[in-house]
Amino acid sequence: MFEWITNPEAWIALTTLLALEIVLGIDNIIFISILVGRLPPEQRETARRLGIGFAMLTRLALLFSLAWVIGLTAPWFTIFDVEISGRDIVLIVGGLFLLAKSTHEIHTSMVDVADESISAAQSTMISIIVQIGVLDIVFSLDSVITAVGLVDHLSIMVIAVVGAVIVMLIAAKSIGDFVDTHPTIKMLALSFLMLIGFTLMAEGFDVHVPKGYIYFAMAFSVAVEMLNIRVRRNIDKSTIKLHKKIDETPSG
């Protein structure tokens, strides 16, 4: 099972797959961070850990069911000369769910604070975990198919998946806190999820969208928003200093 340990090419494949799994896990982290933000503060960490734990279990379950996963890529039926497989159906349904959820979250973020508080109060741990579980299946399928296409050893796939999930556990809280603290970042993240939803649907209809373009666009958008945040912070500091000077200036 571990005969690849002495093979340098296998280690290169493991490193590459681990990096890819971490990148693919970013979608999961963003979605989980936004959803757990709907819960009371004392429940968020538990929900976050459960969500990421389900993500790992789903990935491992799919890895140990490789024959079934590979069978999902076989065509089930044809629509307008496009062959639709089980994987395509999962991607289309998952994309629709992601679009609907992102649109709902964007709408909720734009309503009054009082209405948002009521909406958050109505969210329960079980409903949040169920929603996370649904998207875990979609993201895990994409992750596992990537792993199957890249390496041949099941043990390498398992190590890469577990390693990526550990990174997700470490990074999830800081990412979630950052998203909660900066409303514009949350809106940007929801826009990313809508983009990912459209991409999943396109992939489901056999329209290949290079993920490198998508991740570059996301990284560029985040970099621009980081600059905006820094500019706003400097403006706030300048405003505070100006008010202090005005307050300290003796009245004539």
- In the chain, the N- to C-terminal Cα span, in Å, equals 85
CA nearest to 36, candidates 155, 157, 186: 186
The residue that leads in pLDDT, 112 or 123, is 123
pLDDT digits (tens, 9 = 90+) for 116-164: 444 554 567 778 888 777 777 777 776 776 666 666 677 777 888 888 8
pLDDT digits (tens, 9 = 90+) for 68-81: 666 666 777 887 77
Three-state DSSP state, 208: coil
- pLDDT value of position 247: 66
Q: Give the span between the Cα atoms of 5 and 207, in whole angstroms.
A: 37
Look up residue 60 and give its two tokens: 């491992």
pLDDT at 185 over 50: yes
From residue 215, how far is each of 14, 102, 143, 152, 226 by CA, in Å? Answer: 21, 18, 15, 26, 16
Domains of the chain, by residue range, sit at 3-209, 211-252
Quick check: 59 and 140 in contact, CB under 8 A?
yes
pLDDT at 202 over 70: yes
pLDDT digits (tens, 9 = 90+) for 18-40: 777 777 777 777 778 777 877 78
Q: At what angle do helices 183-204 and 211-248 cross, to 10 degrees?
A: 170
Q: By CB neighbour count within 10 A (0-12 exposed, 13-18 middle, 19+ buried), where does 242 fall?
A: exposed
pTM above 0.85, yes or no: no
